[in-house]
Structure 1
């Protein structure tokens, strides 16, 4: 079943409109993703399961001006918060949509989506801010290499991150175009120095020709919220 959250479409549209007007802030893919996550974590999703349902729900959504105003307000808040406290240390302004990555010099590659999740305190239902999150592949205990220096693995959750973590794995070599491959991934969450939890999942990628540039837009794999007990 293909489930779609139409609020994501509104967020992307409003966020792009606002960022197009800004000239003095970082617009890199990392900051864009952080802004989108900030907004979506504060909005109620609207799920539909068919193209007809999408059209019907979108029409209803357009009739609700207040809902649009609320989301637009959150977009402005997210842009302000994230631009003042970016997670990366590079102060350069990047307005380009494409990121030149550390992609291997291979003719064909598997490109991964950004992996996004949120960790919640199961007792208080508040976001966790004192945990470290690792991304691994298969049975390896070596953290997966990230797309470029703007992405961290492991990542330390800070209060400003609202419990949200994100990873963007570096592309892997493929032997040809059009090959479908499943990658077994898992994240490890560590907190209180001695407590940990693992979540396993699978990502499927279809190989493509390596152009040397990869666009992150629409390449997001969203995990369900993960609940942990800080007292464990």
Structure 2
């Protein structure tokens, strides 16, 4: 059974319409309309409007019948989109290229590596690690990320509670439905503690195309990791 949030359709359509309108007027406010900022705008708006889920075409038809409610929702969404563009443009991600559109997903078979999620703790007091960098490696190189909004190395800060995440770039495949394990390693260094190297495999089945969007349903969770002083327990 496929569930669809029609609010996303409204938000994405509104963003496209507003961007087209802004560009047609010469963008007098000099707002950034790049793909990265459009994605940030979508997240801002979707976190502030209620979802509307349907599981059939009857649900879609019901939405079309609610004309007045739909018009009000569209107006509210447009207001939020304008506000979001202003906020995002004044707080752009420093690690993103805002002058170039992001590459479009190619319709070629690929191994879509799931999002890799883990946590790391101080092995002495069991507190979450902070102010350290977590690196994801494969075949002797840092793994490229699927999207420029994701970083490798990943910087742990206090409010992440020791949690790190990576969304590795898809790997080309000859065809769909090929099962293959991919070997990765996590490397973490912290002053006064032994370097942590954790090796693991991620089993993946190739698909007909590279995944174009992030999904929490596609996640590979690592066991909790612990760092110790030199001479302590090994991972």
TM, length-normalised to structure 2:
0.54
Report the structure number with the largest CA radius of gyration.
2
Separation (CA, whole Å) in 2 of partners of 1:150 and 1:2: 28
- Count of equivalent residues: 178
Separation (CA, whole Å) in 2 of partners of 1:22 and 1:157: 37
Instruction: Answer yes or no: is the 8 Å Cα contact 1:114–1:169 preserved in 2.
Output: yes
In structure 1, what is the equivalent of residue 233 of structure 2? none
In structure 2, what is the equivalent of residue 52 of structure 1? 58
Instruction: Answer yes or no: is the 8 Å Cα contact 1:25–1:93 preserved in 2.
Output: no
Instruction: Answer yes or no: is the 8 Å Cα contact 1:135–1:167 preserved in 2.
Output: no
Q: What is the DSSP-based 3-state SS (H/G/I as helix, E as strand, rest coil) of the residue aligned with 2:172? A: strand
In structure 2, what is the equivalent of residue 175 of structure 1? 174
Cα distance change, pair 143–59 in 1 and its aligned pair in 2 (3 A): farther
Instruction: Answer yes or no: is the 8 Å Cα contact 2:111–2:172 preserved in 1.
Output: no
Instruction: Answer yes or no: is the 8 Å Cα contact 1:182–1:205 preserved in 2.
Output: no
**Could you report, residue by residue, the CA deviation over 1:152-181 in whole angstroms, capped at 9, with x for unpaired residues?**
2455699xxxxxx997642312123xx036
Separation (CA, whole Å) in 2 of partners of 1:135 and 1:93: 27
In structure 2, what is the equivalent of residue 83 of structure 1? 89
In structure 2, what is the equivalent of residue 38 of structure 1? 44
Instruction: Answer yes or no: is the 8 Å Cα contact 1:27–1:93 preserved in 2.
Output: no
The CA RMSD measured in Å over matched residues stands at 5.0
In structure 2, what is the equivalent of residue 127 of structure 1? none
Q: What is the DSSP-based 3-state SS (H/G/I as helix, E as strand, rest coil) of the residue aligned with 1:180? A: coil
Q: What is the DSSP-based 3-state SS (H/G/I as helix, E as strand, rest coil) of the residue aligned with 2:41? A: helix
Q: Tell me if 1:206 matches 2:212.
A: no
Cα distance change, pair 53–135 in 1 and its aligned pair in 2 (3 A): farther
Separation (CA, whole Å) in 2 of partners of 1:31 and 1:147: 16
Separation (CA, whole Å) in 2 of partners of 1:40 and 1:133: 30
Cα distance change, pair 205–143 in 1 and its aligned pair in 2 (3 A): farther
TM, length-normalised to structure 1:
0.54
Show the 5 A alignment for 1:53-132.
53-60=59-66, 63-89=69-95, 92-94=98-100, 96=101, 99=103, 109-110=109-110, 112=112
Instruction: Answer yes or no: is the 8 Å Cα contact 1:35–1:78 preserved in 2.
Output: yes
Where structure 1 has 5 or more consecutive residues not aligned to the other structure, the ranges are 116-129, 159-164, 189-199, 209-215, 225-232
Instruction: Answer yes or no: is the 8 Å Cα contact 1:132–1:156 preserved in 2.
Output: yes
